[in-house]
Amino acid sequence: MITTLFFLAALMVGVPIGVCLCLSGAVYILSIGSPVLFQSFPMQMFGGVDSYGLIAIPLFILIGEIMNSGGITRRLVDLSMAFIGSVKGGLAYVNILANMLVSSIIGSATAQVAIMSQVMVPEMEKQGYDKTFAAGLTVYGGMLGPIIPPSVMFVVYSVLAQVAVGDMLIAGILPGVLLTLLFFIVIALMGFVYNYPRSEKRTLAQRARTVVQASPTLLIPIIIVGSILSGVANPTESAAVGALASALVGRYVTKEFRFSAMPAILLRSAIYSAIVLFLVAAAAVFSWLLIYGKVPQMVATWVQTVAHDPVTFLLLTNVILLVIGTVIDGIPGLIMTAPILLPIATEVYHIDPRHFGVVIVVNLVLGLMTPPVGLSFFVASAVTGAKPGKMFIVTLPFFIISCVALVMLSLFPSLSLGLLK
C-alpha cells in the first residue's frame, strides 16, 4: 500500500514514469525491511536492457528521422492520392492509406500524428474538410503506427514476454490491415451523411507519373517487412538495412536528405532511444519486485474469481487496459501491465503470448485516443490548433469501430496469428 500510494503521488506531481518505477521499487525494498535487495537493483536494470532485440528500437527511430528529413512522407501521400482517385471523401481515404504506408516506417503513434498532421490537415482544409475532422482523422490514422511493423511497442513487448521479435512484428500486419479497412467503411458511411468533397481529378498519365516518382520510397517498407517475412534478416538486421535504404532514397531519389544533417538526426534518435530504454530498464526492476512480492499470483487469484474462461479474461483485460491507457502513454503502460497480466494469460488461461501481445498493444494505443488525456489528440492540437475535445466528438465513430476491432482481435486469435501459421 505504501509503495502504491508513493507511485501514484509521484505520478500525479509529474515525476517521469521511469523514475517513478525506480523510486517505487526503492520504497518497496525499504518498506519490507530488506535493504540487501539494493545489491541486485543495478543488476536487474542492466538485465532489462541486455537484449539483442532492443537494438532494433534506436534503428527504427533513426529510420523515421531520416525519412522525415528526406521528404519521403510527402511522396507516400502523393502515392496514396494516385491510388485512391476522385471518389467522394477521397482525401479522407488518402489520409488513412498514407498513414498505413508511413506506419511501416515510423512505428510510433505520437510521432506519426505530429508528422502527418503537418502534411494532411492543411491539404484537407484546402479541399473543404473541417479542420477538426481532418486533425481527428489523422489521429486515428496514427493509431496504425505502433501496430503495423516496425513497431517499438512490439519490440518492447517481445523482450518482456521473451518471444521472438519477428513473430510479434508479423502478428501486427493483419490487425493493421483490419483497422485500415474498418476505417475505410466508416469514411464511406460518413461521406454519404456529411457529403464529403471529392478528390481532385487526375488523368491516367498524371497518376502514372506520380506512381513512378513515388514508388522508390516503397523500397523502405518492402526491405524492412520483406526481409523479416522471408527470413533473410532478423528485425534488428532489417532495421539497420532499412536505415541505410532510407538515407539512400532520401539522398538520391527524393534528393531532400543531406548527410550533413546526420549529427542532428543521430542526436534526436539517441535521446528518444535513451528514454525508451530507460523505461525498459526501470520496468525490469519493477517486474522483479512484483514477482518478489507475489503480486501476479494475487492478481491471478482475483481474476480467476471473475473470469472463468479465456474470452472473459481478455474482455476484462480490455476494460482494465483501456482505463490505464487513458492516463498513461503506450510504452509505460505496456511496461507496467505486461509483467502482471502476461503470466496469468499464458499460465492460467493458456492464451498464446503473441496473441495477447497484439491485444494489449492495440488496447494501449487506443488509450492514446481516449479522454480524459488522449495524448494523440493533444499532439494533433499542438500542430493544427484544433481543440482536442471537439476532435474526439467529431471522430467518435472511429473510436467505436476501433473498440469493435479490439473485440474482434480478442475473440479471434487467427486475426493476429494468421500469418505465423
What span, in angstroms and rounded, lies between the C-alpha atoms of 92 and 234? 35
Decide if 340 contacts 299 (C-beta within 8 A).
yes
Decide if 47 contacts 287 (C-beta within 8 A).
no
298-311 confidence digits (pLDDT tens): 776 777 788 888 88
Burial of 252 (0-12, 13-18, 19+ CB in 10 A): exposed
Say which residues have a Cβ less than 8 Å from residue 3's Cβ, sequence separation at least 6. 24, 27, 28, 31
pLDDT score for 108: 66
pLDDT score for 328: 66
pTM: predicted TM-score of the whole model, two decimal places? 0.76
Decide if 409 contacts 358 (C-beta within 8 A).
yes
Task: Give mean pLDDT, residues 239-262.
Answer: 84
Average pLDDT, the chain: 80
What span, in angstroms and rounded, lies between the C-alpha atoms of 175 and 161? 20
Highest mean pLDDT: which range of 91-105, 261-275, 279-293: 261-275
147-185 confidence digits (pLDDT tens): 887 777 888 888 888 888 888 888 888 998 899 999 999
Alpha helices in 293-374 (DSSP H): 295-306, 310-325, 330-343, 353-367
Q: Of 113, 105, 112, nearest to 149 (Cα)?
A: 105
Decide if 77 contacts 120 (C-beta within 8 A).
yes
Cis peptide before 150 (omega within 30 of 0): yes
The CA–CA distances, whole Å, from 384 to 117, 124, 372, 379 equal 7, 12, 20, 9
DSSP character for 371? T
Place of cell 503470448: 353
What span, in angstroms and rounded, lies between the C-alpha atoms of 82 and 206? 8
Task: Give mean pLDDT, residues 39-54.
Answer: 77
Is the predicted pLDDT of residue 344 greater than 70, yes or no?
yes
Strand, helix or coil for residue 365:
helix
Q: Of 175, 192, 202, nearest to 354 (Cα)?
A: 175
More confident residue, 121 or 210: 121
Is the predicted pLDDT of residue 355 greater than 90, yes or no?
yes
CA angle 388, 393, 394 (to 5 degrees): 95
